[in-house]
Amino acid sequence: MRAGRFVGTVTSIMDDIGARPDWGPCLAALWVEPDARGQGIGAALAEALMARLAGLGFERVYLSAKPHMRDYYLLRGWTMIDSDIDKDRQDVFLRLLPRQ
């Protein structure tokens, strides 16, 4: 929320990659409203989620995204570990989390 207005959201679930159900937890449903993009909100949401997961003792986090988002995640430190997954032919990325 910013000035009482919704600008973005993110969540984590244990199984968000149908073809790889053992890959979790997953960063999922990262969304920033179009008029709020380009302000670092998505990166801040992802970082907050990863800090929370690290605080809970997780060592890694995964995410799946459509191929047009590949550069966005690669430029933010994610490593692509698989591609052409599930019916949407998504890429799968991994981030190692800092030890708490």
Domains assigned to the chain: 8-96 (3.40.630.30)
- In the prediction, which pLDDT does 12 show? 97
Residue that is written with structure tokens 């409203």 in the block: 33
Side-chain half-sphere of 44: how many Cα atoms within 13 Å? 11
Q: Output the pTM of the full model.
A: 0.91
What is the helix (H) or strand (E) element at residue 55, kind and residue range? helix 41-55
Average pLDDT per consecutive 10 residues, the chain (100 residues; last block may be shorter) = 96 95 96 96 96 97 96 96 94 92
